[in-house]
Homo-oligomer: A and B are copies of this chain.
Amino acid sequence: MNDRPLDLLALQRRLADFAAARDWRQYHTPKNLVAALSVEASELLEIFQWSTPEESARVMDDPGTAHRVRDEVADVLAYLLQLCEVLDVDPLAALAAKIDRNELRFPAPKARED
C-alpha cells in the first residue's frame, strides 16, 4: 500500500478540509459526530442483520453488497477520524495503548507457546 495519499493523517486532513469548504464544521460537535458514527455502524450492521454466520462470511461475493460494505466501512472510519480530530485524540496511539492493556488483562494461554 502506497503511503500517499492513503495514510490516516492525510485522509483526516482531507475530511477536515471537505467539511470546512462546505461550512459543515458548525455541525461537528463531538456529540453529533459520535451520533453519526453510531448511525453508520448500524448501517453496516443492517447489511448483516438477517444473515446466518455462514452467509455473513460470504458477503463480499456479491459485487453490489461488497460495494455497500466498503461504503459503510468508509463512513464509520470517516466519522471516527473527524471525532478524533475535534477531540485531539490520536486513534492509533489509543489503539496501541489498548492492545498493551489487553495483553496484560487477557494473558495468552501457556499451551499456545509449546
Interface size on A, residues (CB 8 A): 75
Copies in the complex: 4
Chain B residues, Cβ within 8 Å of A83: 44, 73
In this complex, the member of A6, A30, A99 whose beta carbon has the largest number of chain B beta carbons within 10 angstroms is A30
- The reply to whether B18 and A96 form a contact with Cβ atoms under 8 Å apart is no
Could you jot down 5 A-B contacts, CB within 8 Å?
Answer: A34-B44, A34-B56, A37-B45, A73-B94, A77-B80
Chain A contacts to B: CB under 8 angstroms = 1, 3, 5-9, 11, 14-15, 18, 21-23, 27, 29-32, 34-39, 41-53, 56-57, 59-60, 69-71, 73-78, 80-81, 83-84, 86-99, 102-103, 106, 108-109, 112
